[in-house]
Amino acid sequence: MSRLIVLDTETTGLEVSDGHRIIEIGAVELLDRRLTGNNYHQYICPERAVDAGALEVHGITDEFLTDKPLFAAIAADFLAYIKGADELVIHNAPFDVEFLNAELKACGHSSTVQDICTVTDSLAVARKQYPGKRNSLDALCDRLAINNSHRTLHGALLDSEILADVYLIMTGGQETLELEEDSGLQQAAQANSVRPPGLTLSETPVTSVEQQSHQDWCEKHKIVAW
């Protein structure tokens, strides 16, 4: 029986070298390419402020994170969860893996994520399968007819659930992701909705100039525009 873990993180900012930290980890487990409902989800206190740009992406405030555990307190449980996985799938994996390894090193763990399980970058898979096209998670959902309308903000667990669906279709396993009675997607959507009180969302049309500016910024910082 194959065990696949699909994982995502949210962070205080873009660069480990600038002291940015992980604030959320979400992951879903699949056995023989079917969701089990054995998910992992954890908010983490980063002991530093969240950058304004990152806040716009995930909506997770400093106040919300104040009473959350430090990474050192959850590291053992996290490692136990991913241990034994045949494959750890992450979109734009180098970004998340660098942050995870930095957190592990900071709290005294000698092992890296790559020491524990094989890491697959689903972005690299998508680029190989769809060369020359946009391969952000949103773009892949559009291309593969996956409904992600419930995704208003980035959230590590919800994004992992969506990525699991995307990855299964890209790798030819099944065309829809059938969930157990307690839908993993429902759980993920609920987890993603846990945001600081008072946070409201508004829809503002994006101009072509703004779209190009955003794309230029993403390319400058070597990240993937979701």
pLDDT in tens, 141-180: 999 999 877 665 678 999 999 999 999 999 985 544 444 4
The confidence score (pLDDT) of residue 94 equals 97
Catalytic residue among 91, 154, 214, 221: 154
- Alpha carbon 180 to chain centroid distance? 22
The confidence score (pLDDT) of residue 211 equals 54
User: Annotated catalytic, 154?
Assistant: yes
Q: Which amino acid is at 143?
A: R
Q: Are 71 and 103 in contact (CB under 8 A)?
A: yes
Look up residue 204 and give its two tokens.
């503002």
The confidence score (pLDDT) of residue 151 equals 61
Cα dihedral sign, 149-153-156-157: negative
How far, in Å, CA of 3 to CA of 118, rounded?
Answer: 11
The label of the residue with tokens 């680029």 reads 127
Domains in the chain, please, with CATH? Answer: 3-220 (3.30.420.10)
**Which residue stretches of the chain have pLDDT < 50?**
175-204, 206, 209-210, 214, 216-217, 219-226
The confidence score (pLDDT) of residue 188 equals 47
The confidence score (pLDDT) of residue 149 equals 75
Selection from 215, 191, 186, 195 nearest residue 56 by Cα: 195
Q: Are 68 and 45 in contact (CB under 8 A)?
A: yes
